[in-house]
Amino acid sequence: MILTDTHTHLYYETDPEKLDGLMQRCLDNQVSRLFLPNVDSESVSMVFELAERYPGHCFPMLGLHPCDVKDNFKEELDIIYKEISKRKIYAIGEIGIDLYWDKSTLSKQQEAFRTQIEWAKQLDLPIVIHCREAFDEIFEILDELKDEKLRGIFHCFTGNREQANRVIGLGFFLGIGGVLTYKNSGLDKVVQDIDLKHIVLETDSPYLTPVPHRGKPNESSYLVHIAQKLADIKQVSIEKIAEISTENSIKVFGI
């Protein structure tokens, strides 16, 4: 069984011994493929270092997180874009729009999002979208820029069925994480009737820790709990969930 965590910030752990422990627990739980999004220019080196430390298991992605789109966002984008040319990456992300924390930066977030979508098209890479209280704003841009190259994942999808169908209609996968295990999230009902061919799994470690570890820092080894919850909902084996979701991740990232 091979489980793929399509979105983890495992590199936030800087203690080498603890990091080795996190990775060993991943491998013990068959979570052997981890995709790493940075958030800003400072985290680029952290992503690359972890990918170099665990080649074949950790795969880098680069982008500017919408919550890190500040007045200097164009400088940040320039730095990140230059880094993209230096080493192999597998997606532009995480990028998008977040209106939960700060609505005042919307126009800057929109510009940064558009810019990075164009990067992805130029490089023939998928995008990994952060969307928080911004479905309408994100759909507007995706509809505007849609073509045969536009593809990727809606990271940490927590929308309703209508929004899920729209994501799928745009050719994107739904990134399903720990929220699926929360009792009153309603996400279980949304995914119940969605074909597994549209779903990838993620932890967003160290955030959004799944039950039964909720309240503690998340880690990628906990992906097994998300996979099991999805298996229970779909009434299939966890091995089947692992097989299909990993196949989907290969379709997205090309590896």
The CATH number of whichever domain residue 185 belongs to comes to 3.20.20.140
Cβ neighbours of residue 61 closer than 8 Å, sequence gap 6 or more = 35, 36, 37, 38, 47, 89, 90, 91, 92, 93, 94, 128
Give the rounded percent of residues in the chain with a pLDDT score beyond 70. 100
How many domains does one find in the chain?
1
Two structure tokens written together for 141? 């841009």
**Amino acid identity, position 176:** I
pTM, rounded to two decimals: 0.97
pLDDT of residue 92: 98
Is-contact 119 88, C-beta < 8 A? no
DSSP state of 209: P
Two structure tokens written together for 189? 């009902």
| Residue entry with tokens 């752990």 | 13
Residue-wise pLDDT for 173-208, tens only, equals 999 999 999 999 999 999 999 999 999 999 999 999
CA dihedral over 122, 123, 126, 132, signed as positive or negative: negative
Give the rounded percent of residues in the chain with a pLDDT score beyond 90. 98
Residue-wise pLDDT for 116-140, tens only, equals 999 999 999 999 999 999 999 999 9
HSE on the CB side for 240, CA within 13 Å? 12
Indicate left, alpha or beta for 245 from its phi (over 0: left) and psi (-120 to 50: alpha): alpha
pLDDT of residue 250: 98
Q: Looking at the DSSP assignment, which residues form a beta bridge with residue 172?
A: 152
Rounded to 5 degrees, φ, ψ at 179 are: -60, -25
Range of the domain at 87: 3-253
